[in-house]
Amino acid sequence: MTVALDPGTAVGTLGTGVLLLAFVLNVTGRIRVGPLYLGMNALGGAIAAYASFLIGFAPFVVLESVWCLAAIVRLVNLSASGRNRKPLESGRKR
């Protein structure tokens, strides 16, 4: 038996998968809030926003777009500072 996914569901699954992976890696202490984490949030947010657009669900287009833009702004600020500021603490303590 095969399951066919419509484009919105397939794209949404990818976007939320990237967001969830970033979250799990962060809260388990495998990555800190830095370029990789922010990049994953920007990418996942952008993909999820597009998926929300495809299915016509405006509230999540707004939510995911803001999520993506916030990650991009923080990423640009890190890059523009000429150095990586101390990453924000999150996740479990070691």
Minimal CA–CA distance to 40: which of 3, 15, 9? 15
Q: Is the pLDDT of residue 71 over 60?
A: yes
- Residue 77: CB atoms within 10 A of its CB come to 11
Q: What does the alpha-carbon distance between residue 44 and residue 67 come to, in Å, rounded to a whole number?
A: 9
> Phi and psi at residue 33, in whole multiples of 5°?
-75, 105
Indicate whether 22 belongs to any domain: no
What is the model's pLDDT at position 94? Answer: 45
21-55 pLDDT tens trace:
999 999 999 999 999 999 999 999 999 999 999 99
Query: What total of structural domains would you count in the chain?
Result: 1
What is the model's pLDDT at position 2? Answer: 75
Range of the domain at 67: 32-82
What is the model's pLDDT at position 49? Answer: 98
Q: What is the Rg, in whole angstroms, of the alpha carbon atoms belonging to the chain?
A: 15
Indicate whether 60 belongs to any domain: yes
